[in-house]
């Protein structure tokens, strides 16, 4: 894979995200769980990590999570299989037109009372003068670890923010129970 010219990338300021491990966690579906596999590193065998990219899943740290190549728009699970669905900076890679379908699939596989946890990047509308790629530099702290990483996407007509996800959640009859805005990122927790 060729290296991307950094002159074409708009980087946000580094954001620090602290994830506190919860004591009781049931079965978790982690959307886009390849790469660093943060959720899998936290919860191991409780996690089913899906990703469209076999390469991303192979890059994820070795642990007891189950890794499956799968498209979140067409989940191959039976209804009501998971207590929690997580998306750690993954929705930025999904076209806005597909988000409603994704939420329907997530709601279908969540058990009654299940939660969707979203960590997302605020992506503003691209202007003519803006660079080709919008990217965030992150420092993620969890389980006495600190990982410096980044996530970036082609900067098209795919602006996203917390309000967009709150609206999609409400359209799918999901209730917002927690939300947090960082400078360039957001965290949203919804419940069915």
Instruction: Give residue limits of the domains in the chain.
Output: 24-122+159-191
Burial 43-78 (b: 16+ CB within 10 A, else e): beebbbbbbbeeebbeebeeeebebeebebeebeee
User: Residue-wise pLDDT tens for the chain (192 aa)?
Assistant: 445 677 888 988 898 999 988 777 899 999 999 989 999 999 999 999 999 999 999 999 899 999 999 999 999 999 999 999 999 999 999 999 999 999 999 999 999 999 999 999 999 988 888 889 899 899 999 988 999 998 888 888 789 999 999 999 999 999 999 999 988 899 999 999
Give the CATH fold of the 24-122+159-191 domain.
Rossmann fold (3.40.50)
- pLDDT given for residue 1 in this prediction: 41
Is the CB of residue 154 less than 8 Å from the CB of residue 30?
A: no
Contact criterion met (CB below 8 Å) for 34 and 53: yes
């Amino acid at each position: 894979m060729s290296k991307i010219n950094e002159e074409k990338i708009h980087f946000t300021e580094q954001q620090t995200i602290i994830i506190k491990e919860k004591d009781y966690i049931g079965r978790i579906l982690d959307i886009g769980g390849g790469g660093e596999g943060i959720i899998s590193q936290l919860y191991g065998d409780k996690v089913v990590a899906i990703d469209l990219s076999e390469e991303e899943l192979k890059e994820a740290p070795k642990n007891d999570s189950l890794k499956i190549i799968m498209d979140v728009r067409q989940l191959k699970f039976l209804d009501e299989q998971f207590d929690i669905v997580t998306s750690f900076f993954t929705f930025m890679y999904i076209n806005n037109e597909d988000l409603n379908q994704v939420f329907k699939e997530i709601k279908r596989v969540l058990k009654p009372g299940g939660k969707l946890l979203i960590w997302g990047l605020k992506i503003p509308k691209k202007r003519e003068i803006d660079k080709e790629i919008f990217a965030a530099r992150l420092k993620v702290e969890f389980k006495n670890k600190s990982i410096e990483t980044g996530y970036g996407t082609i900067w098209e007509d795919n602006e996203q923010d917390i309000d967009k996800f709150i609206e999609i959640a409400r359209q799918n009859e999901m209730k917002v129970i927690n939300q947090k805005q960082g400078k360039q990122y957001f965290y949203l927790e919804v419940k069915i």
